[in-house]
């Protein structure tokens, strides 16, 4: 199971927590089918805000007005929950925290008052700075006083305590089941539950395959992932290539393609990398390489590889290092670096790690352009799968791995 890493306390997670709290504290303005909550009085001056029922989707709708929230926006809700748990303010009551059932939320917050402005001041102006200082001291101790330079650009992170992986290609009898995607022109905000349902119905008819199901929706134009028979996907692809299919439910089609197969990290060997990957030392300057791994005393990864990627017109280096541990787990470090001719990463760059169901495991982001490295670290068992989304502005790159 991946372990929580990199929980840090910059302005991005702070704003997400503020937005989350403002929705909860304004609960009386919402219908109970969207957000059901009540105040409870405890001993002394303690108060408990008990949220009996809501969903991540509902909270995004209430805070942003989006009728169909993206996976990224729902991940921001999980990010706020994780930080409030770390502050020992929120207690998550969900028995299942992955998959579709994790969408429904039930939790309570223990607070010193019922006044909204006093609550925000207590959490964001009193508790938050203390945690930030505490984490900074812990990090300094762990780095053996190694200087990392000015890291005013703090990453944010959120972890899901559960992790599961499902094979990408399965055999159902004589049918091969694959995952594929359609990229449409437009914005995710234009989608509605009704239009999405119609899209799935239309795709099933065109594919001649009722097993085709929408599995995920991403930002970056509109990218909708389906899972179903390979034969059904080939029918859709043929219609597109013939020019007989140009749009679905009014959304112009830009591309139809198979979701890339995951990279199996256990099969990597030094000097024998998958296509597109190479020795990391050939992509980074000596000082960048030392900064990335030199401070990790006693940490000797079995594989360190990298590749150059381009996102929103900017070239970056994606690095990955892994080492097997004695408990049959593998420790994996994922990093983004600027290319050799750039000193820092661009602002508003985000890394999101998801499990096979699309649930967020970790996420981190640059707040400005002062950072020269962005990283996430997880641990998992052989055969577990995860997806890395690299996002900036309206562009997203997806990489899939199997431990």
Question: Do 396 and 273 share a structural domain?
Answer: yes
What's the CA angle centered on 158, arms 67 and 343, to 5 degrees?
A: 100
Q: Is residue 92 part of a domain?
A: yes
CATH code where residue 357 lies: 2.60.40
Q: Do 319 and 335 touch, CB atoms closer than 8 A?
A: yes
What's the CA angle centered on 210, arms 205 and 211, to 5 degrees?
A: 135
Q: Do 367 and 344 touch, CB atoms closer than 8 A?
A: no
Q: Do 262 and 251 touch, CB atoms closer than 8 A?
A: no
Shortest CA distance to 128 belongs to which of 147, 151, 149, 154? 154
Chosen domain end from 224, 258, 292: 258
Q: Is residue 44 part of a domain?
A: yes
Which residues are CB-contacts of 269 (< 8 A; sequence separation ≥ 6)? 303
Q: Which residue has the tokens 């840090």?
A: 8
165 three-class SS: coil
Range(s) of the domain holding residue 220? 170-258
Chosen domain end from 84, 117, 135: 135
Shortest CA distance to 82 belongs to which of 172, 181, 16? 16
Question: Do 300 and 393 share a structural domain?
Answer: yes
Q: Is residue 330 part of a domain?
A: yes
Q: Residue 16 burial (CB < 10 Å; 0-12/13-18/19+)?
A: buried
**What is the count of structural domains for the chain?**
3
For the chain, how big is the Rg over CA atoms in Å? 22
Question: Do 237 and 320 share a structural domain?
Answer: no
Q: Is residue 5 part of a domain?
A: no
Tell me the pLDDT of the chain (403 aa) as tens digits. Answer: 333 445 667 777 888 899 999 999 987 777 888 899 999 988 878 899 999 999 888 898 888 776 666 666 777 888 889 899 999 999 999 887 666 667 889 999 999 999 999 999 999 999 988 876 565 454 444 444 332 233 333 333 333 322 222 223 344 445 677 788 888 888 877 888 888 889 989 999 999 988 888 877 876 678 888 888 888 888 998 888 888 888 998 889 888 888 777 788 877 766 677 778 888 888 888 888 777 766 555 567 777 888 898 887 888 999 888 888 877 888 888 889 888 677 788 888 888 888 766 677 777 777 766 788 888 888 888 888 888 888 887 777 888 888 8
Cross-strand partners of 51: 37, 107
Q: Is residue 3 part of a domain?
A: no
Positive or negative: CA dihedral 130, 132, 133, 137: positive
Question: Do 117 and 176 share a structural domain?
Answer: no
pLDDT at 111: 94
Shortest CA distance to 317 belongs to which of 291, 299, 355? 291
Question: Do 78 and 53 share a structural domain?
Answer: yes
What's the CA angle centered on 215, arms 96 and 211, to 5 degrees?
A: 110
Using the 8-state DSSP alphabet, how is residue 54 labeled? E
Question: Do 363 and 272 share a structural domain?
Answer: yes
Cα separation of 253 and 248, whole Å?
7
Question: Do 275 and 224 share a structural domain?
Answer: no
Listed as own residue / partner, the contacts of 247-252 with beta carbons closer than 8 Å and 24 or more positions apart are 248/182, 248/184, 248/199, 248/202, 248/203, 249/195, 249/198, 249/199, 249/202, 250/195, 251/184, 251/185, 251/186, 251/190, 251/195, 251/199, 251/222, 252/184, 252/185, 252/186
pLDDT at 185: 85
Using the 8-state DSSP alphabet, how is residue 372 labeled? S
Residues in the chain: 403
Cα separation of 324 and 403, whole Å?
10
Phi first, then psi: give them for residue 272, nearest 5 degrees.
-135, 75
Question: Do 273 and 390 share a structural domain?
Answer: yes
Chosen domain end from 81, 115, 135: 135
Question: Do 119 and 15 share a structural domain?
Answer: yes
Question: Do 325 and 247 share a structural domain?
Answer: no
Q: Is residue 165 part of a domain?
A: no
Question: Do 287 and 248 share a structural domain?
Answer: no
H or E segment and range at residue 109: strand 104-111
Helix intervals (H) in 250-322: 286-289
pLDDT at 140: 46
What's the CA angle centered on 25, arms 22 and 31, to 5 degrees?
A: 105
CATH code where residue 244 lies: 3.30.70
Question: Do 390 and 268 share a structural domain?
Answer: yes
Q: Is residue 143 part of a domain?
A: no
Q: Is residue 313 part of a domain?
A: yes
């Amino acid at each position: 199971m991946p372990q929580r890493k990199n929980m840090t306390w910059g302005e991005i997670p702070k704003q997400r927590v503020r937005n989350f709290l403002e929705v909860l504290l304004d609960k009386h303005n919402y219908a109970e089918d969207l957000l059901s909550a009540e105040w409870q009085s405890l001993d002394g001056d303690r108060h408990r805000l008990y949220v009996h029922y809501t969903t991540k989707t509902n909270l995004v709708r209430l805070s942003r007005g989006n009728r169909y929230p993206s996976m990224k926006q729902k991940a921001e809700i999980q990010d706020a929950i994780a930080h409030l748990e770390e502050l020992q303010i929120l207690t998550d009551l969900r028995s299942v925290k992955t998959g579709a059932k994790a969408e429904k939320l039930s939790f309570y917050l223990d607070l010193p008052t019922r006044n909204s402005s006093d609550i925000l001041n207590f959490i964001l102006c009193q508790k938050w700075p203390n945690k930030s200082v505490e984490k900074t001291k812990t990090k300094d101790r762990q780095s053996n006083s190694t200087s990392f330079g000015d890291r005013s650009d703090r990453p944010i992170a959120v972890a899901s305590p559960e992790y599961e992986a499902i094979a990408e290609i399965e055999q159902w009898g004589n049918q091969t089941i694959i995952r594929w995607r359609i990229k449409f022109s437009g914005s995710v905000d234009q989608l509605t539950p009704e239009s999405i349902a119609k899209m799935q119905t239309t795709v099933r008819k065109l594919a001649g395959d009722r097993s085709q199901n929408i599995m995920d929706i991403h930002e970056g134009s509109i990218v909708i992932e389906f899972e179903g028979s390979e034969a059904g996907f080939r029918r859709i692809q043929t219609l597109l290539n013939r020019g007989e299919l140009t749009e679905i439910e009014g959304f112009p089609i830009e591309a139809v393609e198979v979701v890339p197969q995951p990279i199996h990290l256990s099969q990597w060997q030094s000097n024998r990398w998958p296509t597109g990957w190479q020795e990391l030392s050939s992509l980074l300057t000596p000082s960048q390489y030392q900064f990335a791994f030199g401070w990790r005393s006693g940490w000797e990864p079995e594989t360190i590889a990298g590749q150059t990627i381009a996102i929103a017109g900017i070239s970056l280096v994606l690095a990955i290092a892994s080492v097997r541990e004695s408990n049959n787990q593998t420790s994996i470090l994922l990093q983004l670096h600027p290319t050799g001719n750039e000193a820092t990463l661009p602002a508003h760059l985000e890394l999101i790690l998801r499990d096979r169901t699309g649930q967020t495991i970790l996420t981190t982001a640059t707040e400005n352009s002062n950072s020269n490295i962005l990283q996430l670290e997880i641990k998992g068992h052989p055969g577990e799968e995860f997806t890395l989304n690299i996002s900036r502005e309206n562009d997203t790159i997806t990489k899939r791995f199997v431990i």
